[in-house]
Copies of this chain bind each other. A is one copy, B any other.
Amino acid sequence: MLKFHEYRNPALAIDLVVFGYYEKVLSVLLLNRNEEPFKNGWTLPGAFLQMEERFSEACGRILKTKLGMEHLFLEQLYSFDEPGRDPRGRVISVTYFALVNPRNFGLAAGKMANDVSWHDIKKMPELGFDHKKIFKKALERLRSKILYFPVGFELLDEMFTMTELHELYECILDISIDRRNFRRKILDSEYIIDTGQKREGLQNRHPSLYKFNKKLKQHNFNLNVS
């Protein structure tokens, strides 16, 4: 009897949607391919799953070797199966999305190596394979997740002002939210803690610096925005 992997099986790829937030812009990391198919076109970073490898290990491998990143927030997104999605043959793609603060990886200038760069989600180029679809699904997930889970803290510095958090929400959701109501809701939810410190050196009143409340157990908050 054959072992399972000796049968013909579809290849299994892991593809990542890595979101970064910097200077009031939400961006995604894209790779410029240097080989066919889609040579010189943009795609999401990805790799084939190794036989003994876990999904999370493959994600870590991609993040580290292709992007130089480690220990990011990762969440499985969806698995894609269209038979024609890769012109080279049948490839199933298990996708994950990741959140990163670009400043933690020295990519703040907006560019990395020649073949990797951040792209404003509002100015996305054409993407190879079915990666546009994957990207859309990831953005949808991020937008719904941020309403009931403190996802934003992965994207900001360890300490941040209320205004920075507010701008992040408005940017991701692409809506405007009343500054004062947002503030009250976030503070009531106990997701963040006032560090007692202030951001200094600004032209006007020095805002309080907050950090994420890591001890919070219950995620009993719902940002009800229309």
Shortest CB-to-CB span from A74 to chain B, Å, is 13
Residues of chain B lying within 8 A (CB to CB) of residue A79: 55, 76, 79, 94
A54 touches B83 (CB 8 A): yes
Shortest CB-to-CB span from A6 to chain B, Å, is 8
Closest residue of B by beta carbon distance from A57? B81
Which of these, B4, B52, B88, B89, contacts A11 with CB under 8 Å? B4
Closest residue of B by beta carbon distance from A1? B88
How far, in whole Å, are A82 and B51 apart by their CA atoms in the complex?
11
A8-21 interface code vs B (CB 8 A; 1 in, 0 out): 11111000000000
Answer whether residue A92 sits at the interface, using C-beta atoms and an 8 A cutoff. yes
**Category for how many chain A residues contact B:** 20 to 34
B5 touches A8 (CB 8 A): yes
How far, in whole Å, are A54 and B82 apart by their CA atoms in the complex?
7
Residues of chain B lying within 8 A (CB to CB) of residue A55: 79, 81
How far, in whole Å, are A82 and B92 apart by their CA atoms in the complex?
17
B90 touches A52 (CB 8 A): yes
How far, in whole Å, are A3 and B87 apart by their CA atoms in the complex?
11
Shortest CB-to-CB span from A4 to chain B, Å, is 4
Residues of chain B lying within 8 A (CB to CB) of residue A88: 3-4
A89 touches B9 (CB 8 A): no
Residues of chain B lying within 8 A (CB to CB) of residue A86: 4
A12 touches B83 (CB 8 A): no
Residues of chain B lying within 8 A (CB to CB) of residue A94: 79, 81, 92
Answer whether residue A62 sits at the interface, using C-beta atoms and an 8 A cutoff. no
Closest residue of B by beta carbon distance from A224? B222
How far, in whole Å, are A6 and B88 apart by their CA atoms in the complex?
12
Instruction: Knowing A4-B89, A88-B4, A90-B4, say if A10 contacts B49 (CB, 8 Å).
Output: yes
Chain A interface residues toward B at CB < 8 A: 3-12, 48-49, 51-52, 54-55, 76, 78-79, 81-83, 86, 88-92, 94
Known: A4-B11, A51-B90. 14 other contacts (CB 8 A): A3-B88, A3-B89, A4-B10, A7-B11, A7-B48, A8-B51, A9-B49, A10-B12, A10-B49, A52-B83, A54-B81, A76-B79, A81-B94, A92-B94
